[in-house]
Chains A and B, each alone.
Chain A
Amino acid sequence: MTASDRNHSRPPEAAEGAVMAALRRGPSAGDVADAVRRATDRAHAEGLVDVTYSSLDSPLGRLVAAATPRGLVRLAYEDFNGGVDVVLDHLATRLSPRIVERPTGFDPLRRELDEYFEGRRRGFDISIDWALTTGFTRKVLQATAAIPFGEVSTYRGVAAAAGSERATRAAGNALGSNPLPIVVPCHRVLRTGGGLGGYTGGIEKKQRLLAIEGVLSEPLT
Chain B
Amino acid sequence: MPPPFQRLLDDHSPTVLRFLVASVGPVDADDCFQETVISALRAYPKLRHSDNLRGWLLTIAHRKALDVHRSRARRAVPVEDPDPGHTVPDAPRDDALWTAVHDLPPKQRGAVLLRFVGDLSHREIAAALGSSEEAARRALADGLANLRKEWTPA
A interface, CB within 8 angstroms of B: 3, 6-7, 12, 15-16, 18-32, 34-36, 38-40, 42-43, 46, 48-49, 53, 85, 88-89, 91-93, 96-101
Contact = CB atoms under 8 A, between A and B. Distances in A.
B124 interface: no
Interface string B88-99: 111110100100
Contacts of A49: 41
B97 to A, nearest CB: 5
A39 B6 CA distance: 12
A3 B17 contact: no
Contacts of B107: none
B136 interface: no
B82 interface: no
Interface residues of B, number: 45
B9 to A, nearest CB: 5
A94 to B, nearest CB: 10
Interface in B1-37: 1-7, 9, 13-14, 17-18, 21-22, 29-30, 33-34, 36-37
A93 to B, nearest CB: 6
B41 A43 contact: yes
10 nearest A-B residue pairs (beta carbon): A26-B18, A39-B37, A99-B4, A18-B153, A25-B92, A48-B41, A88-B4, A28-B90, A39-B34, A20-B116
A81 to B, nearest CB: 15
B148 interface: yes
A38 B89 contact: no
Nearest to A99: B4
Nearest to B87: A31
A100 B10 CA distance: 10
A7 B152 contact: yes
Contact of B30 (A30, A38, A99): A38
B26 to A, nearest CB: 8
11 contacts: A19-B116, A22-B94, A27-B88, A34-B86, A36-B9, A38-B34, A39-B34, A43-B38, A91-B4, A98-B45, A100-B5
A97 B44 contact: yes
Nearest to B50: A97
A32 B6 contact: no
B38 A3 contact: no
B113 interface: yes
Given A26-B14, A48-B38, A35 B92 contact: no
Contacts of A101: 6
Contacts of B6: 53, 88, 99-101
A80 to B, nearest CB: 20
A25 B116 CA distance: 11
A6 B153 contact: yes
Contact of B148 (A15, A22, A40, A98): A15
B18 to A, nearest CB: 3
Nearest to B89: A31
Nearest to B100: A19
B79 interface: no
A203 B103 CA distance: 66
Contacts of A24: 18, 116-117
Contact of B88 (A20, A35, A99): A35
